[in-house]
Amino acid sequence: MRYKSLTITSIFVLMAGVAGTAFTGENWGKYAAGEKRSGYTFMTPETRAMQDDDFANPAFLWVEQGQELWSKVEGEAGKSCASCHGDADKSMKGVGATYPVYAKELGKLINVEQRINQCRTERMKAKPWKYESSQLLGMTAYVKNQSRGMPVNPKIDGAAASFFERGKAFYNQRRGQLDMACMNCHVQHPGKMIRANRLSQGQPNAFPLYRLKWQKLGSLHRRFRGCNKQVRAEPYPFGSDEYVNLELYVMWRARGLPVEAPGVRM
């Protein structure tokens, strides 16, 4: 299929001019694990400086909101997260490094956002938060922040195995009018420029993160939707099974990188 490779080549030719592989050979310390590199290492020094300082990182506005909500009683059961989970820095440690996980009661994978809403609806008898609402983003960032620095290490065997395989297949499947798979960008061309962005390896370890373009915090599924749309493919809904399976696959790709949530990106 000749026209396909032509489309792809022309996109990356555009990139090549500005590209340069300025970052090879640098020592990225904790932001790299073997060949894997966090999206942090592809950012400009200015953007990295914002992430380095929790005060300058605007994502912490959401983390603070999550922290406040942690001990707020809501719902008919008259409980807050803290009523059952106590101090988040102990009870939530590790969650951000290991999710999504297989949920027996549902017979499928769930991610942190969905686990939080499961606790709200089933255990607090409260309304679930909408995906991408500041409450759900804030609580997810707060929960994942308790694992900051821990190596990403999700479980992909046992009951999770078949979902992992589906996520992997999604990652390598060409789609959209441009007929490109995730791997065509994030495996084959990291380091190159694509329009105004420097392509990274597409690692998920800093989500939810503050994107300067969004001017707010956004979830990993928002990023998936953006990446689907930019090859002119139909995006899947937030929290869809397809995206949760994909989330497990990209978390597995990131194993060994530290949880950065909440990061800052261009």
Partner 1 sequence: MATKPRVKVPQQVKKGEVFEVKTLISHKMETGLRKDKKTGALIPRKIINKLIVKYDGREVFKADFHPAISANPYMSFFTKATKSADMEFTWVDDDGTEYKHTAKINVN
Residues within the interface to ligand HEC (CB under 6 A): 39, 42, 79, 81, 83-85, 92, 95, 112, 115-116, 119-120, 123-124, 139, 143, 180, 182, 184-186, 194, 197, 199-200, 202-204, 206, 223-224, 227-228, 230-231, 246, 250, 265
**CA 247, CA 166: separation in Å to the nearest integer?**
11
> In the numeric block, which tokens belong to residue 94?
């590790």
Q: Which is nearer to partner 1, 97 or 209 (CB)?
A: 209
> In the numeric block, which tokens belong to residue 184?
């065509």
Q: Which is nearer to partner 1, 3 or 55 (CB)?
A: 55
Residue 128 within binding range of partner 1, rule CB under 8 A: no
Contact by Cβ (8 Å): 54, 261:
no
Q: Which is nearer to partner 1, 170 or 210 (CB)?
A: 210
> In the numeric block, which tokens belong to residue 120?
């709200």
Other CB atoms closer than 10 Å to residue 233's CB: what's the count?
Answer: 18
Residue 219 within binding range of partner 1, rule CB under 8 A: no
Active site residue 227: yes
Residue 134 within binding range of partner 1, rule CB under 8 A: yes
**Alpha-carbon distances of 197 from 29, 31, 178, 212, rounded to whole Å:** 23, 19, 18, 12
**CA 2, CA 56: separation in Å to the nearest integer?**
48
Tally of residues, the chain: 266
> In the numeric block, which tokens belong to residue 11?
């996109």
Stretch that binds partner 1, among 23-31, 56-64, 173-181, 251-259 (CB under 8 A): 56-64
Catalytic residue, chosen from 84, 182, 185, 227, is 227
| CB 53, min distance to ligand HEC, A | 18
Q: Which residues are tagged catalytic?
A: 227
Q: Which residues bind partner 1 (CB under 8 A)?
A: 55-56, 58, 61-62, 65, 134, 212, 215-216
